[in-house]
Structure 1
Amino acid sequence: MELQHVLTDLFGTTLEDAKFIQSKFQIEYLNKGDFFVQQHKRCTKLSFIENGIFRVFAETANKEITQWIGGENYFITDLNSFLFDQPSRWNIRALTDAKILTLELIDYRQFEQNLPSWNVVEKRFIAKCFSMLEDRIFSFIALSAEERYQHYFKTNKELFNQVPLQYIASMLGMTPETLSRIRAKM
């Protein structure tokens, strides 16, 4: 799905507004291992993944914690850093070669003046981010490790052949050993 369709389908923009918004995004290529943003640095861009897989993670004193793994048709940014001028709490790194469409913060901020419907579009975008976060929190509270694995596998089968399993285990809040046991049971 291309960016224009995501803007119209998910965020309710008109086709004309979607074309205008998309015109501000620039193509960017990242190689496997390249950072989109590094922890403690400022994130000044929002990107749409056309192809490739990215991992969002933090390095703590004891370990790396994977917050999210995603690919095609998702947006990537450190939202707190991007919107509130804070240092990024996350590393975002390409796990594969990737093609992304990137919007710089300066262009993002100009939408408010140049696009009458921007407040509604932005509200829907942030609500979508919040909804995804709620879903993640719910799964950690309400589902067992096995249920979290089953749900993630059902919706992201393709990642299991492309992403190191320890990253998936971390994202699901379990050890690699627990993930292996669950996979063996299935």
Structure 2
Amino acid sequence: MKNFDELIQQYVGCLTSEELSVIQSYFKEEKLNKNKIFTNSGEMCDKLSVVKSGILRVFALTEDGKEITQWLSTKDFFITEVMGFFFNQPNRWTIQAFTEVELLSISKTDYLKLCQKFPKWIEIEKQFIIKCFAMMENRVFSHLSMTAEERYNQYFEQNRELFNQVPLQYIASVLGMTPETFSRIRKRQAENS
């Protein structure tokens, strides 16, 4: 994992070591065992975390019981359920530890205290939300403008290690394709290598 200070600095820029110490003092080490739930759909997410190690899967069930994997979060990513944590609405997504996971977490209560004690934190929050929005916008753009094979290639280049760590149907779901389409593309890629 990147140094916690480096991660915060990438969102906000120039903070003093004292300011970084204040922020870090609110984040607590947390471990989740494999399959442990970080937060459930329908509940209210009460923490924001940085992934130090491991993989978390963000997913939902459709009305007909089909699982949709929205995201696979790995080290150096922030993780929370945005609707629950920031907007006090029931979670749309369940977030579950796919592997053993180490996190640095801040509770909603401490988050609100940090916002009051350290007003610059609002800028970090803003940058976090902007980054989330930009990532979602990029995903929508790729789904609308790229072929399934182009999406596969792009995701593979950016997340190569995940292809050996998680079931491929999760990656297929993240990419908005059926497992069958994903398998055909994967087979074609192997033949062309």
CA distance in 1, matches of 2:125, 2:11: 11
Which one-letter code corresponds to 1:41 in the other structure? E
CA distance in 2, matches of 1:79, 1:17: 25
SS state at 1:21 partner? helix
Structure 1 segment 80-159 matched on structure 2, within 5 A: 80-159=83-162
CA distance in 2, matches of 1:28, 1:86: 24
Out of 171, 175, 178, the position equivalent to 1:172 is 175
Q: Is the 8 A contact 2:26 2:114 kept in 1?
A: no
Q: Is the 8 A contact 1:11 1:125 kept in 2?
A: no
TM-score, length-scaled by structure 1: 0.96
CA distance in 1, matches of 2:98, 2:137: 25
CA distance in 1, matches of 2:32, 2:120: 32
Out of 59, 62, 75, the position equivalent to 1:60 is 62
SS state at 1:159 partner? helix
SS state at 1:163 partner? coil
Q: Is the 8 A contact 1:41 1:88 kept in 2?
A: yes
> How many residues get paired?
186
Q: Is the 8 A contact 1:13 1:121 kept in 2?
A: no
User: Partner of 2:23 in structure 1?
Assistant: 21
User: Partner of 1:51 in structure 2?
Assistant: 53
RMSD over aligned CA atoms reads: 1.1
User: Partner of 1:4 in structure 2?
Assistant: 5
Out of 58, 76, 80, the position equivalent to 1:77 is 80
What is the CA-CA distance between 1:125 and the residue it aligns to? 1.4
Q: Is the 8 A contact 2:41 2:94 kept in 1?
A: yes
SS state at 1:40 partner? coil
Out of 32, 35, 46, the position equivalent to 2:34 is 32
Which one-letter code corresponds to 1:72 in the other structure? K
Given the alignment of the two structures, is residue 185 of structure 1 paired with residue 188 of structure 2, yes or no?
Answer: yes
SS state at 1:39 partner? coil
Runs of 4+ displaced beyond 6 Å: none
For structure 2, the residue ranges without an aligned partner over 5 or more in a row are none
SS state at 2:41 partner? coil
CA distance in 2, matches of 1:181, 1:93: 28
SS state at 2:176 partner? coil
CA distance in 2, matches of 1:87, 1:96: 25
CA distance in 1, matches of 2:28, 2:74: 18
CA distance in 1, matches of 2:74, 2:32: 13
Identity across the alignment (%): 48
Q: Is the 8 A contact 1:2 1:73 kept in 2?
A: no
